Chains A and B, each alone.
Chain A
Amino acid sequence: MIEFDIRQQDGGSVVGPRGRLTMVSARAFRDAVTEVIERDGGTVVVDLSGVSFVDSSGLGALVACLKTARQAGGDLRIAAPTEQVTMVLGLTNLDRVLRPRATVEDALHG
């Protein structure tokens, strides 16, 4: 399963899932990020350093969250993806719309 750290930092909100972001957990992830977008707005960074594995459902949730953030006038950025997540973002070409930043700090201020 998956757990979330949610925190406020200078420059935006940070959501840090820990575990696998798959068909099993994608809905809970999407709900958690949507709640942060609706409550805080602005820039939301998804810290992927604790996500060991993502599947197409997890990618779909990230795309949905990006759209929700932009519709609310904000943005969603991703930071510190692990090796499997980086590979999958590349194979699906999603690294063009969800360009990974090396660190949460880079994502908040870049």
Chain B
Amino acid sequence: MAEPSRRYLDAEVALENLEAVHELLEDWWGAVGDVPPRVRFGFDTAVIEIAGNIIEHSVRLDDETGRRFSLALTGTERMLHARFEDNGRPAGIDLSAVAMAGSEDENGRGLALAIASLDRLDYRFENGRNVWELESGRG
């Protein structure tokens, strides 16, 4: 059995680091190998939405400095997995209550889009950190 493909990023919670997440994903996909486009685009979309949620939550609601997040990507023969952790204030999100915004709305699509793009999305606040886990089958 092949070794899992892993990539890891630890960075300041800042808008410019969304680009660092894109770059980490691109590098990781090179190691993961062939995945159907719909699965890859869905996973990319969800990872960027959660990274964006962490950044937006921190920038809008939290004026403390020193906020950092980590992203661990793991690809196995069957599964794609991403885990975010950050030391921001509790996001306090109930994923079961998330619904897609209406077509006239300019906001409110991010989490619904992430849920629709994945097989599984979990959020919890654990040991003083926000933890997000994203998972999809390789298809």
Contact = CB atoms under 8 A, between A and B. Distances in A.
Interface of A: 1, 20, 22-24, 53, 55-57, 59-61, 63-64, 67, 83-84, 87-88, 91-94, 96-97
Interface stretch (B1-9, B63-71, B77-85, B97-105): B97-105
A54 B112 CA distance: 15
Interface string B43-63: 011001100100110000000
Contact of B113 (A20, A61, A91): A91
Nearest to B48: A55
B22 A53 contact: yes
Nearest to B116: A91
Nearest to B109: A56
Q: Determine chain A's interface SS by DSSP, over half rule.
A: helix
Given A60-B106, A63-B104, A24 B16 contact: yes
B24 interface: no
Contacts of B104: 63, 67, 97
A92 B49 contact: no
Contacts of A67: 104
B105 A55 contact: no
A56 B110 contact: yes
Interface size on B, as a range, is 20 to 34
Interface stretch (B34-42, B88-96, B119-127, B130-138): B34-42
B53 to A, nearest CB: 9
A60 B105 CA distance: 7
Contact of A53 (B48, B100, B107): B48
A12 B133 CA distance: 45
Nearest to A97: B103
Contact of A84 (B16, B44, B49, B103): B44
B15 interface: yes
B41 A63 contact: no
A87 B42 CA distance: 8
Contacts of B112: 92
A24 B22 CA distance: 12
Given A83-B37, A91-B117, A22 B52 contact: yes
